Amino acid sequence: MKSNKKYTLEIPRNQFDRIANAFETVVFNINCFNAKKDTIIFTVSEKQRKNFEKYAIKQDNPKIPSRLRATYWITQMFLPRNITKWEIEDEVVNN
């Protein structure tokens, strides 16, 4: 059974930039930019979250290209225990 869960996240712009630069081929659904707080609000699917979670391991995984092995720290936010810290309600985006 596939999960259609979507996460709406708000993170500092510089953190978003690091993720976007590390994963050039990832398409993000950006909802908005909050200039006052210098944050990006974006949405990821459960499938995207799980893909990012693969990079949030400490061990050196030879299956991961060497240029992406340093993504351990920036992908920690996509672990199930951490993602709620960044998650916001969809109503916040729509207002």
Element housing 41 (H / E): strand 39-45
CA 22, 24, 27, 32: dihedral to nearest 10 degrees? 60
pLDDT in tens, 61-88: 677 666 666 677 788 899 999 999 999 9
- Give the percent of the chain with pLDDT over 70: 79
Residues 6+ apart with CB under 8 A from 74: 15, 18, 19, 22
What is the mean predicted confidence (pLDDT) over 32-45?
Answer: 94
Give the residue extent of every domain in the chain.
6-89
Q: Is the pLDDT of residue 27 over 80?
A: no
Question: Looking at the predicted structure, is the pLDDT value of residue 1 above 60?
Answer: no
Contact 86, 8 (CB under 8 A): no
Place of tokens 């996460």: 7
More confident residue, 60 or 47: 47
Q: Which amino acid is at 76?
A: Q
pTM (predicted TM-score): 0.77
